[in-house]
Structure 1
Amino acid sequence: MSDANKLPDGAIPAATLVIMRPSDDGGPDEILMVKRAANMAFAAGAVVFPGGRIDPDDYLVASRHGYGDSDADGAGRVAALRETLEETGLAVGWPALADADVPAVRQALLAERLLSEILDERGDRLALDALVPFARWCPNFKEARTFDTRFFAVEAPAHGHELTVEEAEHSHIFWAGARETLAMADRGEVSIIFPTRRNLEKLAQADDFAAFSAHAAAHPVELVTPWIEEREGESHLCIPGHLGYPVTSEPFERVRRG
């Protein structure tokens, strides 16, 4: 499509994080998933990766870590780490933050303290380069808000505390392999929106973080804006075929868009 990379007006910059850890049974890596609360305006009740909007302070933090003042990739990395800590209590990419300090820092962020101020007070730096960029999506569905979302993957850090959801936005948290989550969705046990399904399918091609990092490096990160196309008399929602996705279309009637 000639306009596939055109960013819709009013799109909200956002970032999401795929956190991968080895499974106990030696199978494919598990991924941290959260279930959105049923009263949310976007993707209510859906299972998603942690993440959220990119805030102005995220650009400031990124600039202090060597990224440009307006570098959306750097700000996206910060937002992905910050939102993950707020939503799950997992401090990714923050090596100096001890388990014992996580609850206080999380609550400070939820109380709208700026991450830049917290980092300054602690004298800490984030490990932003640990994140692997692998996708950027901006679906333009009439039924849902429009987000320009950058996707990153990272290895799960060691932690000794229980992870809990931020109840204002989420109702459940769990670890599961990409193939396992897709199977749960196929059985009707969880609901996933179109971008999450396509990216879980992409993740399912690799058994661990190292293999997925290699897969990500082999494919470009380009803006994905799905489009509708008629195929054999049926409307399909489609994405480009050169970005490493094993499934690039789905009948429109089956798609959950938001």
Structure 2
Amino acid sequence: MTTDPVPIPAATVVIFRDRAGAPPELLMVERSAAMVFAGGAMVFPGGRIDPGDHALAAELELDDDGPARVAAVRESIEEAGVGPGVTPGDATTIARLRAMLHDGATMGAALDAVGASFDPDVLVPFSRWLPLGMRARIFDTLFYLTRMPEGAPEPSVDATENSRLVWTTAAAMLGEADAGRATIIFPTRRNLERLALFGDYDAAVVQARAHAIRAITPWFEERDGVRHLRIPDDQGYPVTAEPADTVRRA
């Protein structure tokens, strides 16, 4: 009998940029093709929760998801050069933070060194994904929503874990994937379909707060003789099943 690997706690942040009279743009990065997990796929900035994230969350006396909030912002700084909730959030400060984080500093130590602070309340919980049945790595990932900070520097790719960075609408990225010009894995596709429902950031927050966060663990189910990968139908997702032969898993 085989057992699943132990889930790795992780966090992801969906950064919105509202546009007048047009759907909001979302910040996404393309994972380097050599990465073991989701290599070559388009994803939102994020990654595993580190011990330093737990330490800062404890220092700030944050709630249970505090380490995930710290990790989401830290990963956003590392991968995209954007620091939601970080004050000051100017280009110089974020660049210094990014350099220190890339050199191995913890988020808390980096903030102290540049005299910056962190407000975790800018992040709004959106979903939690815990796919099982993976052979290599399983991530237990909390997704958060936030706005692109006012006065923040233009995002830039880190060119290590990621090879490309784009602002895109949810619908446009789904179109790119359907045309074969981009790769998205199953959780990202479902989240993009949900994000495509919203005309702006505030609408996304309203819907997110209407659904209690619980782990979404997809499962296989036969439908009319066709095997599908399914998710619950009460979590705000407009598409809850996909034929198994079209699914891209990490």
TM-score of the superposed pair, with normalisation by structure 1: 0.91
Runs of 5+ consecutive residues of structure 1 not aligned to the other structure: 1-7
| Partners of 1:89 and 1:106 within 8 A in 2 | yes
Q: Which residue of 1 aligns with 2:12?
A: 16
Opposite residue 8 of structure 2, the aligned amino acid is I
**Aligned partners of 2:118 and 2:131: how far apart in 1?**
30
1:212-231 Cα offsets, whole Å, 9 max, x none, are 00000111111011000111
Q: Indicate yes or no: 2:36 matched with 1:41.
A: yes
| Residue identity in the other structure for 1:231 | R
Q: Deviation at 1:144?
A: 4.6
CA distance in 2 between counterparts of 1:196 and 1:160 reads 25
Q: How does 1:68-217 map to 2 (within 5 A)?
A: 68=63, 71=64, 73-159=65-151, 161-217=153-209
SS at match of 1:135: strand
Distance apart, 1:235 and its partner CA: 0.7
The number of aligned residues is: 248
Query: One-letter code of the match for 1:14?
Result: A
* Amino acid in structure 1 at the alignment position of 2:17: R
1:104-132 per-position Cα deviation (integer Å, ceiling 9, x unaligned): 22011001011111223344321101100
User: How far off is 1:246 after superposition?
Assistant: 0.5
| Structure 1 residue corresponding to 2:234, chosen from 231, 238, 242 | 242
Q: Is the 1:138–1:224 Cα contact (8 Å) retained in structure 2?
A: yes
Within 2, Cα distance between the matches of 1:144 and 1:35?
20
Instruction: Give 1:175 deviation, angstroms.
Output: 0.3
In structure 2, the gaps of 5 or more residues are: none
Stretch of structure 1 that moved more, 230-239 or 155-164: 155-164
Does the 8 A contact of 1:57 with 1:115 survive in 2? yes
SS at match of 2:71: helix
Deviation at 1:97, TM superposition (A): 3.4
Instruction: State the superposition RMSD in angstroms.
Output: 1.6
Separation in structure 1 between the aligned mates of residue 92 and residue 116 of structure 2, nearest angstrom:
16
Answer whether contact 1:33 1:47 (CA < 8 A) is retained. Answer: yes
Letter matched to residue 206 of structure 2: A
State percent identity of aligned pairs: 46
Task: Single out whichever of 8-17 and 214-223 deviates more from structure 2.
Answer: 8-17
